[in-house]
Structure 1
């Protein structure tokens, strides 16, 4: 049963679109191409196991952790939002 201007399933469609966008954004940040043998930030050697696990890796673990923390602080996702809050 639709109410107002929203069609049946409109809320779920919006949620699905948000999740799809987040997945695309995350995949676009994955490294690709040949990996680096030394970190681009601190010039420390990147272990062979890390290069094997993440093809295309460019940063050592500590520099990647610092980058992830900096980007995480700026993330704008409201993980507490309910379906109802997305209609407002």
Structure 2
């Protein structure tokens, strides 16, 4: 993963932890036979939180590639790889 600031890292981790908590609530609701509308709404929130974390990671990788050029770092993702990652979340 490209170098990110401590604040960016913390924001991504917090978003993923929030999604983890939301997913635990979804599992509990499903196990308890919760209302399907509530479960789907909660599941949508989990999906959104995970997607936003993924987009943040990919956006940082794109910034890194544009700033340094992927040719300079053999481990840097190519534009095509970034595009594929981005589309996998869409």
Ranked by relative contact order (alpha carbons within 8 Å, sequence separation 6 or more), the top structure is 2
Using structure 2 for the length normalisation, give the TM-score.
Answer: 0.34
Select the structure of larger CA radius of gyration: 1
Query: Would you tell me which structure has more helix in proportion to its own residues?
Result: 2
Using structure 1 for the length normalisation, give the TM-score.
Answer: 0.34
